[in-house]
Amino acid sequence: MSGDLSVGIHDLSFSTTQFVLTHQTLAAHNGTDVGKYHAGIGQRAMSVPAADEDIVTMAAAAAAPIVARHGADRIRTIVFATETSVDQAKAAGIHVHSLLGMPSATRVVELKQACYGGTAALQFAVGLIHRDPSQQVLVIAADVSKYELDNPGEATQGAAAVAMLVGADPALVRIEEPSGVFTADIMDFWRPNYRATALVDGRESITAYLQAVQGAWKDYTEQGGRALGEFSAFCYHQPFTKMAYKAHRHLLQVCGQEIDEERIAREIGLTTSYNAEIGNSYTAAVYLGLAALLDQADDLTGRAVGFLSYGSGSVAEFFGGTVVPGYRERLRSESHRAAISRRQPITYARYRELHEHAFPVDGGHHPVPTETTGPYRLAALSGHKRIYEPRQSGLAHR
């Protein structure tokens, strides 16, 4: 690795869905005390994709402003992390590459390890930049989290895409070495290829997450990482926002520190506001935490932020980042807030209909009515091919 080279997140943009189901509406349907959702798991609402939205349309919407601001000439790699892939062979990033009209001299690949995949993509991107600092990597983390109706996981559903431009001399966050890594073979959450909804042992997944926090932190310290007190804030993976609090409490305990709820709120609080409104976006969730922190904190210039990325199964990584001077001028806070507030609330019945929507698998031409007001849409499934198009022009891109 090139010694003093500064590499990290140069730009970050996210998108979410057309529709939103509030936990108030869900609670009114299933008779749950809404306090369990609001206070118990820390969730207010969940993003619900329209029938003409998926990980590709969200990813293209997230990445388009980045390509518009920086151009695509230096982006020679797109790494797309997801656990809700739309094809078993073709990388979803190729559809995004096409929708955004990016140069053919690009490598595109898809990565998977549950909710950890976005961090793997980011770390691999950092490695590529160290090899050639003149290049940039577009990292995309996009997911639609979906559990069976009336399952305890249902209240933690959500959907979003985060796009990050990774390069040398980053404008937002410098990614530091070392990383602390951890893997354990655990079946806490998984989705066999034949299922549209994930299987989860909720309690087991919380225990596995906490075990992974401990393991990743242990390795981080053994690798010569920073002391806990050096971090101003921590971005945790948030399957539901209360999990970040549980995880941070556990980390303080592991480090032999007092459980001071005010300190925990100060170090975690700002990272949860987007996730509480969007729900679990799997690979994107930890970076929605970063977006919420950067968009809302007073001034983090020169401060260290800790990242804990967890993916069931399970893999975790702890690493640090330093916020770069001038970062506030490059934030997209207004468009991030607009992505959340533009969503249209839906009834429980409409949510259920969308939840159960599935394309026929007969290879016929199955157009999808226009529902989204986002910039890209899934226009049809035709001959087993997903047909995407920019919403305004109506031109089909395959």
Question: Is 260 an interacting residue with respect to ligand COA (CB under 6 A)?
Answer: no
Question: Which residues are 310's β-sheet partners?
Answer: 316
Cβ nearer to ligand COA, comparing 77 with 205: 205
Task: Locate 35 and state its tokens.
Answer: 């306090």
Residue nearest to ligand COA (CB): 40
Residue 388 CA neighbour count, 13 Å, CB half: 26
CB of residue 294 vs ligand COA: minimum separation in angstroms?
Answer: 24
Question: Is 211 an interacting residue with respect to ligand COA (CB under 6 A)?
Answer: no
Task: Locate 345 and state its tokens.
Answer: 């609330």
Q: Could you count the other beta carbons within 10 Å of the beta carbon of residue 227?
A: 8
Cβ nearer to ligand COA, comparing 201 with 371: 201
Q: Could you count the other beta carbons within 10 Å of the beta carbon of residue 185?
A: 6
* # binding residues, ligand COA (CB under 6 A): 20
Give the one residue of 118, 153, 215, 313 binding ligand COA; rule: CB under 6 A.
Answer: 153
Pick the stretch among 29-37, 95-103, 247-255, 317-325 that binds ligand COA (CB under 6 A). 29-37
**Dist CA 366 CA 369 (whole Å):** 10
Residue 172 and residue 294 in contact, taking contact as beta carbons nearer than 8 Å: yes
- Max intra-chain CA distance, the chain: 62
Pick the stretch among 203-211, 257-265, 326-334, 367-375 that binds ligand COA (CB under 6 A). 203-211
**Dist CA 33 CA 275 (whole Å):** 21
Cβ nearer to ligand COA, comparing 77 with 156: 156
**Dist CA 321 CA 165 (whole Å):** 15
Cβ nearer to ligand COA, comparing 203 with 263: 203
**Dist CA 226 CA 247 (whole Å):** 18
CB of residue 153 vs ligand COA: minimum separation in angstroms?
Answer: 4
> Among residues 115, 235, 277, 389, which one is catalytic?
115
Which residue is associated with the tokens 């990016």? Answer: 102
Give the one residue of 102, 168, 243, 354 binding ligand COA; rule: CB under 6 A.
Answer: 243
Q: Quick check: is 235 catalytic?
A: no
Question: Is 287 an interacting residue with respect to ligand COA (CB under 6 A)?
Answer: no
Give the one residue of 205, 214, 241, 309 binding ligand COA; rule: CB under 6 A.
Answer: 205
Q: Quick check: is 115 catalytic?
A: yes
Q: What is the DSSP string of 284-343?
A: GHHHHHHHHHHHHSS--TT-EEEEEEEETTTEEEEEEEEEPTTGGGG--HHHHHHHHHTP
Residue 193 CA neighbour count, 13 Å, CB half: 3
> Among residues 10, 23, 53, 83, which one is catalytic?
83
**Those residues with Cβ within 8 angstroms of residue 105's Cβ, 6 or more apart along the chain or in another chain:** 76
Cβ nearer to ligand COA, comparing 38 with 397: 38
Q: Quick check: is 97 catalytic?
A: no
Amino acid of residue 178: P
Pick the stretch among 71-79, 100-108, 153-161, 258-266 that binds ligand COA (CB under 6 A). 153-161
Question: Is 202 an interacting residue with respect to ligand COA (CB under 6 A)?
Answer: yes
**Dist CA 167 CA 70 (whole Å):** 11
Which parts of this chain interact with ligand COA (CB under 6 A)? Answer: 33, 35-36, 39-41, 152-153, 155-156, 200, 202-203, 205-206, 209, 239-240, 243, 312
Residues with a known catalytic role: 83, 115, 237
